[in-house]
């Protein structure tokens, strides 16, 4: 017999089976509290240390030992992120959590895995209009309305989703692994081409360069300063940069926005000089503005731009930063780094080869990323259909 449905009265839920109910999230748990704020020096990536939830996508670990005993997670707990992405965690027992996390204990007459799937769907439908990091207070979580089937059906749906989501997650992980392999392969292709050339039969000789052992016979050795002048960009405040406009603004990590003026006109290579992307390489074309977080390479002689830019990338300039806490490149330091110099015709041949080869690899990576997005969309749709009773798994 076909299942009967009724209107839930809730926009994100839509129709639900006739025997189901809906209720506010606050009715499904007993108590709520937030975790402890600890210094970053106590955080580790050692799996042997205490598991620590911090509102990131995945938990980390900590060596901090002075958490109150009542702030260790138990079997009925869910953890809710208070900041950023509203993650809902199904924590392992005896884990701890930061002050960016809300801990709740689900009542015994509900299946916490089913409740987790529901509340994650409910909170994801909210649009938070803010220019800062979104905040998800307990009162906001409490107001979310979720569907409620009988307990036996909650358990069956949770079991089904655990199995199917596990299969989908495994497929996503496989695609991510292949993307990582393709990314590594792409970099190896670049490194081989810019340091060894394209002739596999070329005679290789000692380079005398500290970061590369051999180079093709006939290549020269020079310093970065022999090829380009290095100059930091010009300061712009965040208020100066717009989302749209005529002239692009480049920082250390690439395009940042637009400005109504430009400071450079031409085809240039930019080197990131601060932060996590210190040493990052970008290309700028036409009229643009470079901020103080980028170093602009002004040519002193003719060379193939793509060859030189990818050579700089292969040199891993970030390793020459002055500080580990807040990395920063010093122009005076990197300009004296030695580098291999092939003849101009060979530079252009390398650049052309890399354009073609890297484009092929990027196409494969894009296909893998598209598959990941398709799998994520399918997973989200499947969860929605199940927790709202639109797909009958009984």
Q: DSSP assignment, residue 81? A: E
CA distances from 153 to 5, 15, 156, 390 (A): 16, 17, 5, 13
Q: What is the pLDDT of residue 128?
A: 65
User: What CATH number has the domain spanning 5-148?
Assistant: 3.90.220.20
The pLDDT score that the predictor gives to residue 365 is 98
Q: Are residues 187 and 181 in contact, defined by beta-carbon separation less than 8 angstroms? A: no
pLDDT on residue 320: 81
Q: Where are the domains of the chain?
A: 5-148, 220-341
Q: What is the pLDDT along the chain (394 residues), one digit of tens a residue?
A: 678 999 999 999 999 999 999 999 999 999 999 999 999 899 998 999 999 999 999 999 999 989 999 999 999 999 999 988 999 999 999 999 999 999 999 999 999 999 999 999 999 988 666 556 788 999 999 999 999 999 999 999 999 999 999 999 999 999 999 999 999 999 999 999 999 999 999 999 999 999 999 999 999 999 999 999 999 888 887 778 888 888 999 888 888 889 888 889 999 999 988 766 678 899 999 999 998 889 999 999 999 999 999 999 999 888 887 765 556 777 888 899 999 999 999 999 999 999 999 999 999 999 999 999 999 999 999 999 999 999 987 6
Task: Specify the 3-state DSSP secondary structure of 28.
Answer: helix
Residues 146 and 122 sit within 8 Å (Cβ to Cβ) = yes
Measuring CA to CA, how many Å separate 299 from each of 11, 168, 229, 303, 385? Answer: 59, 50, 6, 8, 58
Q: What is the pLDDT of residue 330?
A: 79
Neighbouring C-beta atoms of residue 89, cutoff 10 Å: 22
The yes-or-no answer to whether 5-148 and 220-341 have a common fold is yes
Question: Alpha-carbon distance 202 to 195, whole Å?
Answer: 12
- 214 three-class SS: strand
Do 124 and 146 meet the contact criterion of CB atoms below 8 Å apart?
Answer: no
State the CATH class of domain 220-341.
Answer: alpha beta
CA 337/CA 225 separation, integer angstroms: 8
pLDDT score, position 34: 95
Q: Please tell me the predicted confidence (pLDDT) of residue 64.
A: 93
Q: Is the dihedral of CA 45, 49, 53, 58 positive or negative?
A: positive
Long-range residue pairs from 285-288, CB within 8 A, at least 24 positions apart, any chain: 287/246, 287/247, 287/262, 288/247, 288/248, 288/249, 288/250, 288/262, 288/263, 288/264
What CA–CA distances, in Å, run from 9 to 23, 114, 237? 11, 21, 47
CB atoms within 10 A of CB 140: 17
Minimal CA–CA distance to 135: which of 86, 87, 98, 102?
86
């Amino acid at each position: 017999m076909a299942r009967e449905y009724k209107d839930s009265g809730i926009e994100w839920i839509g129709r639900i089976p006739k025997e189901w109910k809906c209720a506010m999230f606050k009715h499904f748990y007993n108590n709520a509290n937030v975790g402890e704020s600890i210094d970053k020096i106590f955080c580790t990536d050692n799996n042997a240390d205490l598991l620590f939830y911090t509102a990131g996508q995945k938990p980390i670990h900590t060596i901090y030992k002075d958490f109150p005993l009542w702030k260790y997670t138990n079997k009925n707990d869910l953890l809710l992120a208070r900041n950023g992405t509203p993650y809902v965690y199904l924590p392992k027992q005896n884990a701890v959590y930061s002050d960016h996390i809300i801990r709740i204990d689900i009542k015994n007459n509900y299946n916490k895995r089913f409740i987790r799937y529901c509340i994650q769907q409910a909170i994801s439908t909210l649009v938070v209009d803010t220019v800062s990091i979104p905040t998800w207070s307990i009162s906001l979580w409490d107001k979310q309305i979720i569907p409620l089937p009988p307990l036996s059906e909650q358990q069956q749906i949770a079991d089904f989703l655990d199995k199917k989501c596990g299969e989908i997650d495994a497929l996503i992980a496989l695609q991510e692994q292949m993307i990582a392999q393709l990314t590594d392969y792409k970099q190896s292709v670049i490194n081989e081409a810019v340091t060894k050339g394209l002739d596999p039969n070329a005679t290789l000789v000692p380079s005398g360069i500290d970061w590369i052992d051999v180079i093709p016979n006939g290549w020269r050795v020079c310093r970065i300063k022999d090829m380009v002048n290095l100059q930091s960009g010009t300061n712009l405040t965040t208020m100066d940069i717009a989302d749209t406009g005529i002239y692009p603004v480049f920082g250390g990590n690439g395009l940042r926005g637009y400005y109504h003026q430009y400071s450079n006109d031409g085809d240039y290579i930019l080197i990131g000089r601060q932060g996590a992307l210190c040493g990052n390489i970008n290309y700028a074309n036409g009229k643009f503005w470079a901020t103080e977080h980028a170093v602009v390479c002004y040519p002193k002689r003719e060379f193939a731009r793509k060859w030189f830019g990818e050579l700089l990338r292969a040199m891993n300039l970030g390793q020459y930063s002055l500080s580990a806490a807040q990395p920063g490149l010093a122009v005076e330091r990197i300009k004296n780094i030695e580098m291999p110099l092939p003849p101009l015709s060979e530079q252009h041949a390398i650049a052309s080869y890399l354009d073609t080869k890297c484009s092929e690899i990027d196409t494969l990576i894009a296909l893998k990323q598209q598959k990941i997005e398709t799998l994520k969309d399918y997973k989200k749709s499947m969860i929605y259909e199940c927790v709202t009773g639109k797909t009958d798994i009984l």
